[in-house]
Amino acid sequence: MKIIDVLQMDAILDDLKSDDKKGILQEMAVPLAARANVSPDYLVKVLMERERLGSTGIGGGIGIPHGKLRDLENLILGFGLSRKGVDFESMDGRPTHIFFLLVTPESSTGLHLKLLARISRILKNDLFKDKLIKAKNREELYSIIREKDEEF
């Protein structure tokens, strides 16, 4: 499964404004909650429960918050860019700029892990991360992600 197969344009946020973890999750939850047929508050609750197990801020300016919903039929994905960076309790203690938010059905562990691995793999490329941070709008972000996704 490719990232671009599940990432929709309306779920790309090119200028996150929040300055803390919960705020970032609240902003990113809005477009995904509608597709998941849940309230944004409920989705944030699920994501924050996962964060209590350990931060999904993996370091290198990257956060991959994720959670599972019982009644969700298909995996959904969002992307967010914080231009100023935010304390996401990352492993390296540095600000997080790039976020992929993944929400999957409770029963789809394999698919969830495959997409997490794919996202992690492409984000190891510093040139790719730099392009994302410099992107001017959601269309440019989508194009950059699509181009990199097709290489794998």
Give a yes or no: residue 138 inside a domain: yes
Q: What whole-number distance in Å separates Cα of residue 9 and Cα of residue 23?
A: 21
Per the domain annotation, does 23 fall within a domain? yes
- Whether 36 maps to a domain, the answer reads yes
Catalytic one of 3, 28, 66, 99:
66
Residue 97 catalytic?
A: no
Say what the pTM is: 0.96
- Name residue 38's amino acid: V
Residue 152 lies in a domain: no
Residue 51, in any domain of the structure: yes
Overall domain count for the chain: 1
Whichever domain contains 89, its CATH number is: 3.40.930.10
Query: Residue 140 is part of which domain span?
Result: 3-147
In this predicted model, what pLDDT tens digit does every residue of 92-139 receive, in sequence order?
999 999 999 999 999 887 888 899 999 999 999 999 999 999 999 999
